[in-house]
């Protein structure tokens, strides 16, 4: 997969970026990931180093819409979205940060 530092046109318009905890789909453990949200993609990287490994690359517009985005009931700082039957769970350490990510995703998915 790509790295943060490549000349990828998908990264031209970054809407939001920062660290979140992402729940592993297979082991169910929370891992700290650097998330980059653009108008068309959501990327997850191992860290924010320019050559960091990309661990998730989802197309926003073609894959899911606002109806697939929800706040997590069991985690006051969490939210999730589904994409083609797969649920992606994220959480932060602060309610304000969770709300900022949720709002950014909701706005992006509304286009």
pLDDT (tens digit, 9 = 90+) per residue, 24-75?
988 989 999 999 998 888 899 999 998 899 999 888 765 555 556 667 655 6
List C-alpha distances in Å: 60 to 56, 57, 75, 87. Answer: 12, 9, 24, 14
pLDDT of 13? 85
Q: Is the dihedral of CA 110, 17, 102, 64 positive or negative?
A: positive
pLDDT of 7? 46
Read off the pTM.
0.80
pLDDT of 19? 96
Q: Is the pLDDT reported for residue 83 higher than 90? A: no
Q: Which is more confidently placed, 21 or 107?
A: 21
Contact 37, 19 (CB under 8 A): no
Percent pLDDT > 70 in the chain is 75
């Amino acid at each position: 997969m790509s790295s943060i530092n490549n000349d990828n046109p998908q990264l031209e318009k970054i809407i939001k970026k920062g660290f979140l905890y992402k729940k592993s789909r297979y082991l169910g453990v929370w891992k700290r990931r650097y998330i980059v949200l653009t108008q068309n993609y959501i990327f997850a990287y191992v860290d924010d180093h320019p050559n960091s490994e990309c661990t998730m690359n989802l197309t926003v517009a073609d894959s899911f819409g606002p109806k697939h985005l929800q706040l997590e009931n069991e985690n006051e700082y969490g939210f999730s979205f589904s994409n083609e039957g797969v649920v992606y769970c994220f959480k932060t350490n602060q309610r304000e940060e969770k709300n900022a990510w949720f709002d950014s995703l909701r706005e992006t998915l509304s286009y």
